[in-house]
Amino acid sequence: MKKLIGTLAVLICFIFMLVGCGLKKVKSGAPEDHYMDDQVISPQKAGEDGSSGNSYYLFMESQIFRGRGRLDDAIYFMKLAMEKDSESLFLKKELAILYLHKKENEKALSVVEEILAKDPESVDALVMSATIKKTLNKEADVKPIYEKVLLIDSKRKSVYQILGKMYFSEGDMDNAFRVYEKMLDQFPDNYVGYYYIGEIYGVKADYDKAEESFLKTLELAPSLDEARLELVKIYRLTKQKQKIITMYEQILDRNPDNFIAAIELGLLYNKNDAVKSGSLLRDLGERSVSDPNVVGAVLQYLILQKRADDAVIVLNGMSEGAPESSEIAYATAVVYYEKGIMDLALENFKAVKSDTRFYQNALIHMAIIYYKNDDFDTGIEVLKEAMTKAPDSAKLELIPYLSSFYKEKEMTEESIKLIREGLLIDPESADLLFELGVIYDRQGKTDLAIEQMEAVLALNPEHADALNYLGYTYADKGIKLDEAETMIKKALEYKPDNGYIIDSLGWVYFKKGLYEEALLQLKRAVELISDDPVVLEHLGDIYIQMNDPAKARKYYERALQVEDKDKKGLREKIDSLNQKGF
């Protein structure tokens, strides 16, 4: 269900009829004081002598302190007033309101319950009770309280809205319908009731009645585009294209800056009226030159709905209105990237100009495409060019990407030099320190790698990858196994579905001789990353320890198929099984 604008947004808040002493309210961010009903007797007024010992004087003192924001003093004087006039429900309500201003909801509820004990049908107290209980416990069922309120006072419009929304959100459409119908009996021109009745008919797939209710909503509230959008949903389901077009045209007529309506109209026109579609999309393109929100709307709206083909149509149409737009080129490239059409993605990324805000992101995307294509040399060229033009803050983002290319090319020293350049810009970059530790590990410099990881954790104790690295390193060496287990479990708190971290936990259990626990973790790790040779080899090692050589062989052979570099160890394990006749 869509969120509504204006008064259609039904909040669980204090909305009551104001009756009382007529004192000026003070804005404090606390609930409004709409709790008093006209049956309540006001405090006793002061005598002609201006005596300060009566409830009215003390009540006025409380109000003055409340106006000054001194709520503790206001409560103190209100309690004194109640001592002078202990039967006054009016004063009790005022005290409850003061507690609400202080956000002392339990105390406010206690006072309200005292009122209800004396006057069980006090509508204002009942509404206060329901609202406070819901505030204290979101799961509290306060619907019976609101039902009672409406039995006592059928003119409480806000209560109908609150109660109907509660039933609706719980999926109880029959009771929601009953409440909104009663509201319309009392307030026949209330568009909110018709809107929600339309929603209910929509849920029940009674589209004719849903359409009728939403049209009535628009008759009463012509500016409510949410009702038009609900009608669009109905017309899509019932395949009434012309009515869809009419709704979007109405929205766009009312608000020419509604980009979503323009996008949808452009797509609808595109199927039958290329001239109208082209004009609308060109206009969007022209407007995007001065308003970056236009391109953002296309990406967010269509990509989130996985409508990549529609996004291409819209962006291509927009490019006719702004052929030099780097933003449109970048957005088009992103769409093609999502569609997996990498040649067109590259073509559009290359069209992004170097002086625009998307240039750096375009280069990173290009580098990723080259990386996936194993074209490391071109990727390095692209990123090095980006580094020459980037400010220091942007270089910090580019360095990890360029370092990855260097590592793939086994250009270890270049990678280390690059990361150190980054650390000169930001000596406390946990990500760069981690990257440096990984390189040291690949060089076999385990002590230096551990030193870097410890530095990472000193800066960020929640760095899951550093926790995992240290935990796995300790486990692999067979040292500090309890500490390793603690670190890896902590890493899993931050990345619970990371197959590599789960593998590390399994490896700790393996080193501890807890083979059943190890098997459980390593099988899960293989489910998550089925093509990692180390994880597959670990699972084979577990099966060896559990006297299941056939399964061990199966996973060793799978690991051998995906291992690119170090095949010798795996072949030796398989040869050992061959020699034993397995």
Residue reference for tokens 């060229």: 381
What pLDDT shows up at residue 53? 55
Using pLDDT thresholds of 50, 70 and 90, give the confidence band for residue 22. very low
| Rounded average pLDDT over 388-410 | 88
| Rounded average pLDDT over 386-398 | 87
| Rounded average pLDDT over 293-303 | 87
Percentage of residues of the chain with pLDDT beyond 90: 71
Q: Which amino acid is at 542?
A: I
| Long-range interactions of 263-269: CB distance < 8 A, separation 24+ | 263/297, 263/298, 263/301, 263/302, 263/314, 266/313, 266/314, 266/317, 267/310, 267/313, 267/314, 268/241, 268/244, 269/245
Residue range 508-579 in CATH 1.25.40.10: yes
| Rounded average pLDDT over 74-103 | 90
What is the C-alpha to C-alpha distance for residues 470 and 447, in angstroms, rounded to an integer? 11
504: left (phi over 0), alpha (psi -120 to 50) or beta: alpha
What pLDDT shows up at residue 8? 27
pLDDT of residue 481 exceeding 50, the answer is yes
What pLDDT shows up at residue 228? 96
pLDDT digits (tens, 9 = 90+) for 251-268: 999 999 999 999 999 999
Mean pLDDT of all residues belonging to the chain: 87
CA 265 to chain CA mean position, Å: 29
Using pLDDT thresholds of 50, 70 and 90, give the confidence band for residue 565. low
Residue 8 per-residue DSSP state: G
Task: Judge whether 425 and 395 are in contact, CB under 8 Å.
Answer: yes
Using pLDDT thresholds of 50, 70 and 90, give the confidence band for residue 305. confident
- Residue-level length of the chain: 582
pLDDT digits (tens, 9 = 90+) for 512-521: 999 999 999 9
What pLDDT shows up at residue 131? 92
What pLDDT shows up at residue 15? 26
Pick from 471, 517, 513, 463: which is nearest to 493 by CA? 463
pLDDT of residue 88 exceeding 80, the answer is yes
